[in-house]
Structure 1
């Protein structure tokens, strides 16, 4: 610790205050102090260094942020673990040694100090235009010869030009750690760092558990990245004796981009500044989908987001536990159909479009070609697979995987080839005898085997033709079985599972028929939605739900396991949600006590992420149109899953809205423009989300509510907001244990969602950002109050007039099931 005179500091501070005239980007030997209340500003005016208090906290931190940008703008924090509880902070550059320290409490306590690579005698501390705070010797002719730089010690944000990875010469690990919460920049349990394997790759962690793995760099991109993702960035990877790191740049200088680690299930989020909207826009996030969860399908299993179930075994492998896989538990992974011993005749199956396996146990040689790589793997009994390390051109380099292959994912049109070691007999079954090891005797294929293979081919062709012709008719409507993209359950199995649709198994009544609990022969619980035979509308809902949800995979959407179409029976088979629906808890005086604020907040965030997936990240842009508490189901861990897609609509391309002459939905959740004019959009879903948010916070139904002159929850929440009494909205069941700042933030977000004008409402990407990031919120405008009863009556009456061109209105009252 440097010797330091408080008296000298006070004198210099006074001198500094008297001479400080305009903002500067540097501290020098003449002005070596920066106290709370003053700042450094980069020469281009983009970045500012100074003291700030995050969110609702009163603690003070030294940090760097985007200047004149609303939203999550803090990009670096010095003393994230040691806040200053008053405004006594002062940053001091020692004019003798160059040491950089942060003091508090009358300049007697050091709360943070920089780790210098070398001492300097003529120090200059400068905030660069790229957001990097650097300390250098003012007399050094090389301006890039830094003694210390903030880019070497990132917090939760990666800016263009920053490095994620290792400086091996100086033992500096450049990693990101999410803020604990918007009021506390200390590290949470989410991190992103470079793993120094033989074949390096970056991994995101939740505490000590791997959560998402990017895959190694393949000379073009990380092997997990689909083509077309983040085209606005250029990525670079460096791996040598001195450094191992990822880095990105932004070719278009008009773009302002930052990548942030977020304390949520979306670990990494990239924001793009919109100059026209003057706000940050969510550009992309990771994990992208369900299959990005680390090792989801276990050893030798791979994940394909396009199918259900998503986990599959590699060819030549089978589930290690068939019962577990049938029950939807895939972590045990797969095992070989035939054991492979050292010395057996082997070859390699070429598997395409894969994210490469976990690289913890790999061997790499960058000078080998693919054939040399193959021979190297053949010579090692523990080698299970090989691949090129560089796929550019004709390919080069060699990576061998020793032991089990873990965390595989199918990435159509963008993954790479992986060559998996297989017994020769298994390759013959796959029709790949030509790929067996030519160093061994060739496998002889008998005439009987050829005849048998031809017979199987004829059988499969016959089954395909039969399946193509199989249809299910309902009046003039027809569903082609091959278009369902779902497993088909036999009616006898469903009858047995539900005890012949016993009344004791009935869970409730949905829009197109009853829902029953069932148990399959393997013990898996299911929920069966049975189409009412008398429901004409139900048939349309059934087809719509099958077509839509069969293509969806997200942790916050209910999972469709299959369907049953047999005779007059048409049923959807879902995963069973043991904790029923959200309305069962929040609207019941007893059950609501079981949902504390932390659980409600997690549910709020989960629903937002599910809607974001529907609106932005799914293959089809989907507008739900019937989001409400009874359509949010809760799994065993109280995680929310959006259900009931019978009324959902798709939008093509960049379309975000549409119009219908048939308005369907639930009274109390519909946006005004949809209820009156039939205009639905992502913003009408945002309106429904805002209503749901108010219900979760207040524990009161949106319509069955009366308080003084307030006819609904929106009116009540708006009046309290205008009066500055929003805390009165909070459910008594959570009032004593909730974090008031979080609840008030959620009320603010809900009122933004229910504004009268759809253009004023935020998108769900903005909602996710507001929930998970340090960002200032705008003030809401007048809400779109619910349609009054007499207005609905007029609407229904007009829809019955055959000469009228107004929309047809179908309303569901949100009563308990």
Structure 2
């Protein structure tokens, strides 16, 4: 609960009020503060204004502790961390529309609050919690804030802040370190929740995992120092359908605390005790350790890391090094000494005590099951590798693993009991929790016998029916492959050097709730796409080949063959496929943030995609294309690059998808010709659309279109301007020639953009969409330019297809083919004249 705050309006005599030490906490509509002015929360704990960190002369709008440190201001939040003001001309104003705007010389926008909710009689208020909020002047309900700084954290978590994801709005709150003590710009470290499987937090350096918190066990995170109950602070982890987050609250009003991710990657929890008058520095309460055993997966699969041991990595009991004959060590990972024998009911579980729980990204959980029920469920599924009691405070809950167990270390005090699946011969006298109770053991054995008999009879009967129907209706179709959650049964495609997991139809139907309409994610040229979840808890996206689709068996095979051979962080991962009867499906990893189109062209969601995220996405697409064109075993031309084929994961990393229309080159081939032109209007290059000539430069053209769309928030096709009939490419080119390229920038990113990066992106986009393919850069040059390593010295020439009624459309209008639609569905066949 926040303290009661007296609202005072900031009048024209602001400076004199501040000089008399009167606490002003509110800005009313059209009022402003300038560099040199400050706002103080009514309780006096926090102050908002302009400051220069460390030895820097740059100016930033921020919030810091008031009268807490005699050496320097401890900033807890920074607004314009990426775009500093180089002098004292900064002004913060609250507009009539209820938006906070930070400007340079009261004219050039530097930052804004990007409020998504409208407010009547808006006021901006600095609360004594350190939260800077926008609300209606007569409404103090925290749920009704139109904007709050707590939703946009920098490197620090204060009491009452949430660190995690809102599943309803998509808001992701995480910590991002400063670049240095003098520069609050985003550094290389982030601390962020990963919601896959059972949620856990990862500390990353750039995109590389450094440390994992482990899952919440009801009292603490299993990989963090144990948090003891005390009278000063209380930690909470919330997990429900709407939200997943960690937060904490102070129980002692005379204590100040903060959790900070510093520039060296240390996550520290610190306190300042006002009760102790001699306190002159922050006290470190908790911090992430930096031993080798805290490094993510330091000892590999089934390896146990023990601090102080020599060597630190050893295999878990009854495991051996993965490659002993090749000089392998425990750090390379381990395997079971005796293989599992699930089919003969010969497996059990061995308890390992005092360990950090393994990586939970490929796990399943239930919050109400008992440990006995948890073991029974895991034992029934051959792909279940381990289980554990999820909530040790209530001795309830079940967590199951469906993959190799990685990132395990010994914790003598904080560790938990972990039950790992082993062959029966390895168990010896080790008894599972169920087997320690003889009556329970024999009851379980009787249940297993009964279940086994019934299951066997049912299976034989079912196989007979399936065989009869299969022989009668599908004489040429192969039998179904059995699939366990989290595991695929591989089938080698005839005449193809490829192995991909094969799913049966029943598994996919169950995962998608029989393709329920509420699980439908969308539909493209291939057919509808559904969200699903395998029994092991892994989320999937299922793409069905519609019988009405113009794409057919060739495109289906094409995608399976290509994407299975391609491995890159910016390419979507194919988990398997289903080819049963007339049903053909592709099973992918699920991308929770949908497509790039769903953000850039959506009036509300585009506000969630600021410039740093957009630039990150542009860079990721470029790296994925470079891999396809140059670094993959196959030389791939995608031929259908567009925003709807760029998927976004939970961290907004882009993944190129939909390889049904892709083509590969061999040797030194650079281009090819086809009579079957495929692609999407607005993204196809001129030489390809008219002549059927495609090359890597065709994909470069499509990439350039996406860059300009991402910067502007406008589609190339369907673009309208009252002063001309040009499409987006033509409009961007005219603005660039007239020196007005900034007019192309989407209003949603004006206040978050790095102007140099945006202008370079526009320049690069125009280079990529030039009419002649030989004028366009290749993707290796594009990646260098985006990284600031290549000079943009060439001036772009006129784009291809830069008028609304271009040559392609004239050709189509004379074609005998059916008329094209104005939507963004892929065109799969076009005979050029």
Using structure 2 for the length normalisation, give the TM-score.
Answer: 0.48
Higher normalized contact order (CA 8 Å, seq sep 6+, divided by chain length): 1
Using structure 1 for the length normalisation, give the TM-score.
Answer: 0.49
